[in-house]
């Protein structure tokens, strides 16, 4: 007897009635589930029967000589074969070239299989978002990966009905946002997915009612169904675990279930038929026609008759009462309108207050001082209310405020013993890098806070604590792509990074509404500020040798990130001169990297610079080559001294450095491109040209022709110059930098304070005489310039 014969014998055996012992596993009446049983039941904890049927019985029969050899047929397919089978189901899988049987197996060592997540040699997740994929998704191949817990196919070009992911009963997360899936989802689709926690189906073309089975999942944390064509009512989801919910921009109608009252208007807007307090729209107390039940043997007239109250004698008493009823109805309508306006005004005021929050000012609910024992690399500091920490910001973009009131109120509250860990915004400050010491939220609250800038991801503040340590606190409002567990894991990974050209985060704070990221403050400021804002001694030091040193440091930092974060779609994702800070010896420090894991793709397209790469703009294709494009922009900016228009959301202002450089290179006019402040060094022009050509190759419109990161790094490292005879640059620290990103808003600040980016008010004139183009407006005799944080 062969193993195949035994396999079919076991199939027959498992078809026996359930009372013979297989019914607890669901095999007594359904032999087709044996394959699932063989590979998954051990993982799901029902191991006893599998051990008997799958191990002892074959060995026993083999010992009796009834079978020659045995192996489970369903487990003979390797992970490599399964992934290659999945790849074959895609019609455009160019981005998965690393999936090859000629390379290492998917989970061997540090996997080179892009988008494959492993744990202890088992495939646990597929992160295949934004890879230009289309075709079908072979769920049968995924079925044979028993450890698979998460699948992500976001922002691709898949279409058709929702694949049968419900055959993967152990899945915990499904991310399908930004495709073209369509059709109705069966009401019982999610019935067998008891482990499912996160469902992201946004920005597709699904129709019909929201599946009732989705609302019955016990462990739901995140549900995103926005930007589809769902109809009908919103099912009641009562799970207390639900923290993120959005059904906006569909065709839903009826009342918003009371169980979802904790979610605000943005979760429901764009549904004309919806009503509820979140939308400021009172629901009609009368049942809609489709809810009226027809009585037995009756028609519509009977139904309406039963639904309406019987006509009373008083209702026939003439027009006087009818007029009174009309007046009462008009009064009620007027009151409803006024209340709606009041609610809308309250919402607007609350949003305005949230936007003006900074550290300091009066406290509605002061924090509690908590003492931290400095014996762990990760410390938690609790506080009673973060939500109350707000102050009015003056019209000046920069203000320094004393937080003595916060400290005093904090002490009073501490004496009272008050502490809270509720959902009102309370959380911990988690230290992930203790190289600058241990501190907590109370330390930040008592510090003098200074507004640095606003950007696409949030706001930035400088805080100098009583210990003298200065930090930058970034408040991020649009980082809800992953839940708290995922956020914690990603931040711990970023906190472990160590490299001389990387600015590692020090700590973070998690709230549903916003997140805080704390970084070391770098006094000299950003590359953006030194190139375009500072006209003092630091700017004068930016000669050719210093600029080459900066470029080398940048590419070394990028090399480190692309090696350590190779599983990310974008290891950096936001490389630009405002996110490159300079140490005392002009050693560059890269910041704001790895954020694509936190930000939803739709918002990332507006906030992260890597999404400005041509392939992302045109085909929504994201890959590490987008980081190379950003590197090229920075190199051209350093060499030309021009402010790239690519940094601006509307593209108006600055210089289109890509078009300008490529045009000049085609006409052999490279020498005209260099910043006059370095072009005077005639002995280094050949090295400058070599670096210029590297930058041009990094911004090639075609990502296939564009340099890879390793090639770019190698070519830059090959540029050799004589060492600077000064043996080191010693200059006084400059004022601050540009922690702001670029949004469509425009606020004028003083460049002496340094935390903004250049506005579109730039001269379009090009100087042919070698003079540096004016990027700002001088006010009086001060070394002071105005530009917009846009």
Which of 474, 469, 515, 508 is closest to 491 using CA atoms?
508
pLDDT at 511: 85
pLDDT at 530: 87
pLDDT score of 229 more than 80 = yes
pLDDT band of residue 109 (cuts 50, 70, 90) is low
- The domain segmentation of the chain, as residue ranges, is 3-75, 79-279, 354-521, 523-720+730-735
What average pLDDT does the chain have? Answer: 71
Beta strands across the sheet bearing 777-778: 748-750, 785-788, 777-778
pLDDT at 312: 38
pLDDT at 71: 40
Dig out the tokens for 666 from the structure. 């085609």
* Lowest model confidence (mean pLDDT) among 415-424, 501-510, 709-718: 415-424
Averaging pLDDT over each range in 7-11, 428-432, 434-438, 629-633, which range is the top one? Answer: 629-633
Whether domain 354-521 has CATH 3.40.50.10790: the reply is no
**E strand or H helix that includes residue 531:** helix 527-532
Terminal C-alpha separation, the chain = 76
Q: Report CA-CA distances (Å) from 367 to 81, 414, 447.
A: 56, 8, 13
Please, are residues 174 and 128 in contact by the beta-carbon 8 Å criterion? no
Q: Taking the C-alpha atoms of 523, 527, 528 and 532 in order, what is their torsion angle to the nearest 10 degrees?
A: 100
Kindly calculate the radius of gyration of the chain based on its CA atoms and give it in whole angstroms: 31
Domain covering 523-720+730-735 in this structure, CATH number = 1.10.510.10
pLDDT at 154: 92
pLDDT score of 503 more than 70 = yes
For 362-396, the pLDDT digits (tens) are 323 333 222 222 223 333 332 322 333 333 333 33
Tell the CATH topology of 79-279.
Answer: 3.80.10
pLDDT score of 147 more than 80 = yes
For 538-558, the pLDDT digits (tens) are 777 889 999 999 999 999 999
pLDDT at 101: 77
pTM: 0.45
DSSP 410-473: HHHHHHTT----STTT---EEES-GGG----HHHHHTSEEEEEEE-SSEEEEEEE-TTS-EEEE
Q: Encode 227-271 in three state secondary structure.
A: CCEEEECCCCCCCCCCCEEECCCCEEEEECCHHHCCCCHHHCCCC
């Amino acid at each position: 007897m062969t193993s195949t014969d035994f396999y079919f014998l076991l199939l027959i055996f498992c078809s026996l009635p359930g009372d013979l012992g297989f019914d607890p596993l669901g095999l007594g009446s359904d032999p087709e589930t044996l394959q699932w049983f063989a590979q998954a039941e051990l993982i799901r904890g029902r191991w006893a029967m599998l051990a008997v049927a799958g191990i002892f019985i074959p060995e026993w029969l083999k010992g009796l000589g009834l079978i020659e050899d045995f192996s489970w047929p369903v487990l003979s397919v390797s992970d490599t074969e399964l992934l290659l089978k999945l790849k074959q189901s895609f019609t455009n899988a160019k981005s998965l070239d690393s999936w090859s049987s000629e390379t290492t197996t998917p989970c061997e060592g540090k996997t080179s299989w892009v988008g494959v997540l492993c744990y202890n040699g088992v495939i646990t997740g597929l992160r295949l978002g934004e890879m230009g994929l289309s075709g079908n998704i072979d769920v049968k191949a995924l079925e044979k990966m028993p450890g698979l817990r998460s699948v992500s196919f976001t922002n691709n070009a898949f279409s058709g009905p929702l694949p049968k992911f419900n055959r993967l009963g152990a899945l915990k997360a499904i991310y399908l946002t930004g495709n073209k899936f369509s059709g109705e989802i069966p009401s019982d689709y999610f019935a067998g997915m008891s482990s499912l926690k996160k469902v992201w189906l946004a920005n597709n073309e699904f129709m019909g009612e929201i599946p009732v089975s989705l609302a019955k999942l016990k462990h739901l944390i995140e549900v995103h169904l926005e930007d589809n064509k769902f109809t009908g009512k919103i099912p009641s989801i009562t799970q207390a675990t639900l923290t993120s919910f959005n059904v906006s921009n569909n065709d839903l109608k009826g009342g918003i279930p009371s169980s979802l009252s904790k979610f605000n208007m943005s979760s429901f807007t764009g549904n004309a038929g919806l009503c509820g307090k979140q939308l400021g729209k009172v629901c009609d107390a009368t049942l809609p026609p489709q809810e009226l039940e027809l009585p037995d043997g009756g028609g519509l007239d009977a139904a309406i008759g039963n639904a309406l109250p019987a006509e009373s004698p008083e209702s026939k008493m003439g027009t006087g009462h009818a007029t009174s009823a009309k007046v009462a109805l008009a009064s009620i309508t007027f009151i409803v309108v006024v209340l709606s306006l009041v609610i809308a005004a309250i919402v607007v005021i609350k949003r305005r207050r949230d936007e003006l929050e900074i550290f300091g000012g009066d406290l509605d609910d002061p924090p509690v001082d908590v003492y931290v024992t400095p014996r762990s690399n990760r410390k938690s500091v609790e506080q009673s209310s973060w939500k109350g920490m707000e102050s009015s910001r003056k019209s000046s973009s920069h203000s320094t405020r004393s937080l003595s009131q916060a400290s005093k109120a904090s002490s009073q509250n501490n004496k009272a013993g008050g502490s809270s860990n509720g959902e009102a915004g309370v959380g911990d400050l988690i230290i992930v890098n203790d190289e600058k010491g241990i501190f907590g939220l109370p330390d930040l609250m008592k510090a003098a806070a200074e507004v640095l800038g606003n950007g696409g991801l949030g706001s930035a503040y400088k805080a100098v604590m009583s210990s003298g340590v200065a930090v930058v606190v970034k408040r991020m409002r649009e980082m809800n792509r992953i839940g708290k567990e995922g956020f914690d894991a990603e931040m711990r990974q970023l906190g472990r990074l160590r490299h001389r050209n990387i600015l590692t985060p020090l700590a973070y704070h998690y709230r549903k509404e916003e997140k805080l990221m704390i970084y070391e403050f770098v006094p000299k400021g950003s590359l953006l500020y030194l190139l375009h804002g500072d006209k003092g001694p630091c700017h004068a030091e930016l000669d050719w040798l210093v600029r080459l040193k900066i470029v080398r440091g940048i590419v070394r930092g990028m090399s480190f990130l692309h090696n350590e974060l190779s599983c990310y779609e974008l290891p950096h994702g936001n490389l630009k001169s405002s996110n490159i800070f300079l140490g005392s010896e002009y050693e560059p420090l890269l910041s704001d990297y790895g954020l694509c894991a936190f930000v939803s793709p739709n918002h990332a397209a507006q906030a992260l610079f890597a999404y400005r790469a041509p392939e992302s703009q045109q085909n929504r294709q994201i890959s590490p080559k987008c980081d190379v494009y950003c590197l090229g922009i920075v190199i051209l900016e350093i060499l030309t001294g021009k402010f790239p228009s690519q940094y601006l959301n509307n593209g108006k202002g600055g210089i289109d450095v890509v078009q300008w450089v490529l045009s000049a290179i085609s006409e052999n006019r490279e020498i005209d491109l260099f910043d006059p402040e370095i072009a005077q060094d005639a002995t280094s022009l050949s090295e400058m040209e070599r670096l210029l050509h590297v930058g041009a190759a990094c911004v090639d419109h075609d990502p296939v022709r564009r340099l890879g990161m390793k090639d770019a790094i190698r070519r830059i490292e090959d540029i050799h110059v004589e060492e600077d005879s000064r043996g080191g640059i010693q200059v006084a620290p400059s004022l601050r930098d540009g922690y702001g990103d670029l949004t469509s808003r425009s606020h004028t600040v003083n460049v002496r304070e340094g935390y903004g980016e250049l506005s579109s008010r730039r001269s379009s004139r090009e100087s042919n005489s070698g003079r540096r183009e004016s990027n700002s407006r001088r006010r009086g005799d001060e070394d002071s310039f105005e530009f917009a944080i846009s």
